[in-house]
A = this chain, B = another copy of it.
Amino acid sequence: MVDTSPTSHSATPPITTDSVPPTPQVNVEALAEQLLGRWKEDRLAARKTAAKPELHQINGLSMQEHRERVMAQLRVLVEEGAIQRAFPTSLGGSDNHGGNIASFEELVTADPSLQIKSGVQWGLFGAAILHLGTAPHHERWLPQVINLEMPGAFAMTETGHGSDVANIATTATYDESTEEFVIDTPFRGAWKDYIGNAAIQGIACVLFAQLITKGVNHGVHAFFVPIRDTKGNFLPGVGGDDDGLKGGLNGIDNGRLHFTDVRIPRTNLLNRYGDVAPDGTYSSPIDSPGRRFFTMIGTLVQGRVSLDGAAAAAMKLGLHIALTYGSQRRQFTVTEGGEERVILDYQRHQRRLIPKLAETFAVTFAHERLLRKFDEVFSGADDSDANREELETLAAVLKSLSTWAALDTLQECREACGGAGFLAENRLTGLRADLDIYVTFEGDNNVLLQLVAKRLLSDYSSKFRNADFGVMARYVAERAGDTVLHGTGLRRLAQNVSDFGSTARAVGQVRDVDYQRALLGTRVGSMVATVAERLKEASKLPPEEGARLFNENQNELIEAARAYGEFVQWETFTRAVNQTMDAGNRQILTWLRDLFGLSLIEKHVAWYLINGRLSGQRAESVTQYIDRLVERIRPYALDLIETFGYGPEHVRAPIALGAEKQRQDEARAYYAAQRAAGIAPVHEKTLKKRQSR
């Protein structure tokens, strides 16, 4: 597919079909295997679990019924031994971090509330004890966490502090006289809020509070705090509230907690990264309070990783439903007296859904990469600071992009199914409602993208202060391409980007992979460098002024992070294409990757035009080529959704299970029989035409 006529400026779309096999076929089995990724077995086992009817969401339950049902479902998971993977072998687990996330995220097909509630119990509450606590904590509490004898809450967010965890207001003040911490909620805004398991079912929590000893605030630390007695009543000093009905995820009892002079033993401090001696002396293996805070918070990255994977799964379900329906539903006659056309054969319908299909592959491959990075760090294979930071950056940017993509995709699917899409039984509205909060919890997407942008900026300022855009672009390309895995192809890639980035030569054609890479990569590099230039003075200014300057560039900064994330997705997709052995799959994945890449370029085409990276003519050819690709991929739509591997027990939407096809076939048979028997009434229109002859 590499274009050999770099100076061609033909106005017609640059498609040549000679190098394409005549009619490539999807090898469903092979592509399904590829999508399952490294933790295939865990994923398949989780899908088998998720197929069980008792784990399925039932529409129309009351909030209370739904909460009880999901709690009972968690017990099913315990009975199945489905949740131990991430815990140490000493506690019956298997230290399988990647497989653990892979299996949890598959639960979204059963009920997103089940996925998130499991995440609260084992991924947040349990994982905090595991990662922030030490051996005595593990031995004492984890067995009960794992077997669900102790449902628990992860009490971090406060009503007044969501994304800004460092400034939460709850305090844990050490009292040397009794060797206890005293937990206090100073005002209403410091109530813990939106906390899963807090409204009803949690009997303990991992509480995040400012650790104060000897008059010094050592920053946010985590404490194990019992909150309810065996009868479900709050313990003395603990109070709370029910968050009540939410826009979705109503199988989880989110609530509020507040504490007044609640005393816990000194040893309830989860003391891996900071400890207080009986005499009140504070100590920590990490000297810098800032780095200590980020290290502690960093251990909780798995929430973001699993949301990214759940978003991918939800996109697959949505498209499975909408593309199936679109290929069966008929509407509007194409020619007089002719049959009605299936709606997926209309250009607009294709344009609405097929780019989302391409994006779903991009999100899936990018998620696999994130999962491997996560496993690498948490298994200890490479838990260097640099790799941890890389994991956090990747999780932040991919979670942001994928959770927004899931909402957009589910909404487009809903609209593409019309009234049928609005019925709860067809699941699209429910999935969207449940996933809505994914874009703002475990880190608000806008805040996460800003963090990513700051990392890109700080890399830039430390390494490239005096470099030109091309160097920055090369660096971005290396980063997005992941040097570890990309290996020797890197030099050529970087060269390419650099060549392109340093001049505005429109080499190659839009379908060429290196050209796409150059377009996407230089945009990131250039955006980061531009903002960096503007902010160069910020650190020298008085804080207020610096903040003002930063704020004036906030929007562009966040857009730079988004561009970086899109480029990471594209690079990872390209790597997946390169690893595809089956020729048909490779061809079709190439088209999907091109569609994904060109859709990004089309979305940002104004930037390319303004910055002289694309001519107007070439920009138009991007759109024309997208139109062609969409049409070309359309015949493979049903095969492609089959590779997602979801059966009727996962999909469950009647319109995607053949009901529509049956109705359409019946209707067509009826009219055909009428015509054959000559009993169809003649239409007045036809009559008038005959008369006018």
A32-40, A140-148, A435-443, A573-581: which lies at the interface: A435-443
Report whether B419 and A187 are in contact in the complex, using a CB–CB cutoff of 8 Å.
Answer: no
- A residues with a Cβ closer than 8 A to B are 59-60, 62-63, 157, 159-164, 167, 169, 186-190, 193-194, 210, 212, 215-219, 243-248, 282, 288-290, 330-336, 338, 340, 345-348, 351-352, 407, 411, 414-415, 418-425, 428-430, 432-433, 436-437, 439-441, 444-446, 450, 543-544, 547, 551-555, 558, 605-606, 609-612, 616, 619-620, 627, 662-664, 666-667, 670, 681-685, 687-688
Q: Smallest Cβ distance from A18 to chain B, in angstroms?
A: 23
Considering the complex, give the chain B residue whose CB is closest to the CB of A546: B335
Q: Which of B162, B189, B289, B685 contacts A664 (CB 8 A)?
A: B189
10 pairs from A and B in contact (CB 8 Å cutoff): A219-B683, A244-B424, A244-B425, A246-B423, A289-B683, A347-B551, A347-B552, A347-B555, A348-B558, A419-B437
Q: Which of B187, B551, B683 contacts A667 (CB 8 A)?
A: B187
Contacts of A330 in B (CB 8 A): 160
Q: Which of B212, B217, B429, B627 contacts A247 (CB 8 A)?
A: B429
Q: Which of B336, B422, B620, B663 contacts A440 (CB 8 A)?
A: B422
Report whether B605 and A336 are in contact in the complex, using a CB–CB cutoff of 8 Å.
Answer: no
Report whether A189 and B667 are in contact in the complex, using a CB–CB cutoff of 8 Å.
Answer: yes
Q: Smallest Cβ distance from A516 to chain B, in angstroms?
A: 17
Q: Smallest Cβ distance from A333 to chain B, in angstroms?
A: 7
Known: A186-B670, A609-B610, A610-B616. A162 touches B418 (CB 8 A): yes
Q: Which of B193, B247, B445, B688 contacts A433 (CB 8 A)?
A: B247
Q: Which of B63, B335, B544 contacts A60 (CB 8 A)?
A: B63
Q: Most chain-B CB neighbours within 10 Å: which of A62, A332, A611, A664?
A: A332
Contacts of A619 in B (CB 8 A): 606, 609-610
Report whether A441 and B419 are in contact in the complex, using a CB–CB cutoff of 8 Å.
Answer: yes
Contacts of A243 in B (CB 8 A): 423
Report whether A332 and B681 are in contact in the complex, using a CB–CB cutoff of 8 Å.
Answer: no
Contacts of A193 in B (CB 8 A): 419
Report whether B663 and A189 are in contact in the complex, using a CB–CB cutoff of 8 Å.
Answer: yes
Report whether A60 and B189 are in contact in the complex, using a CB–CB cutoff of 8 Å.
Answer: no
Q: Smallest Cβ distance from A307 to chain B, in angstroms?
A: 14
Report whether B289 and A688 are in contact in the complex, using a CB–CB cutoff of 8 Å.
Answer: yes
Q: Smallest Cβ distance from A607 to chain B, in angstroms?
A: 9
Known: A162-B331, A347-B554. A244 touches B423 (CB 8 A): yes
Contacts of A332 in B (CB 8 A): 163-164, 167
Report whether B334 and A543 are in contact in the complex, using a CB–CB cutoff of 8 Å.
Answer: yes
Report whether A194 and B60 are in contact in the complex, using a CB–CB cutoff of 8 Å.
Answer: no
Contacts of A666 in B (CB 8 A): 187-189
Complexed CA–CA distance, A247 and B424 (Å):
6
Q: Which of B163, B440, B553 contacts A331 (CB 8 A)?
A: B163
Contacts of A194 in B (CB 8 A): 419, 422
Known: A216-B681, A347-B555, A609-B610. A543 touches B244 (CB 8 A): no
Contacts of A423 in B (CB 8 A): 243-247
Q: Smallest Cβ distance from A245 to chain B, in angstroms?
A: 4
Report whether A683 and B348 are in contact in the complex, using a CB–CB cutoff of 8 Å.
Answer: no
Q: Which of B60, B333, B340, B444 contacts A244 (CB 8 A)?
A: B60
Complexed CA–CA distance, A188 and B428 (Å):
23
Report whether B190 and A667 are in contact in the complex, using a CB–CB cutoff of 8 Å.
Answer: yes
Q: Smallest Cβ distance from A116 to chain B, in angstroms?
A: 12
Considering the complex, give the chain B residue whose CB is closest to the CB of A212: B681
Contacts of A189 in B (CB 8 A): 663-664, 666-667
Contacts of A433 in B (CB 8 A): 247, 429, 433
Contacts of A163 in B (CB 8 A): 331-332, 418
Complexed CA–CA distance, A662 and B187 (Å):
11
Q: Most chain-B CB neighbours within 10 Å: which of A62, A219, A544, A666?
A: A666
Considering the complex, give the chain B residue whose CB is closest to the CB of A336: B543
Complexed CA–CA distance, A444 and B290 (Å):
53
Complexed CA–CA distance, A356 and B150 (Å):
46
Q: Smallest Cβ distance from A434 to chain B, in angstroms?
A: 11
Q: Smallest Cβ distance from A505 to chain B, in angstroms?
A: 17
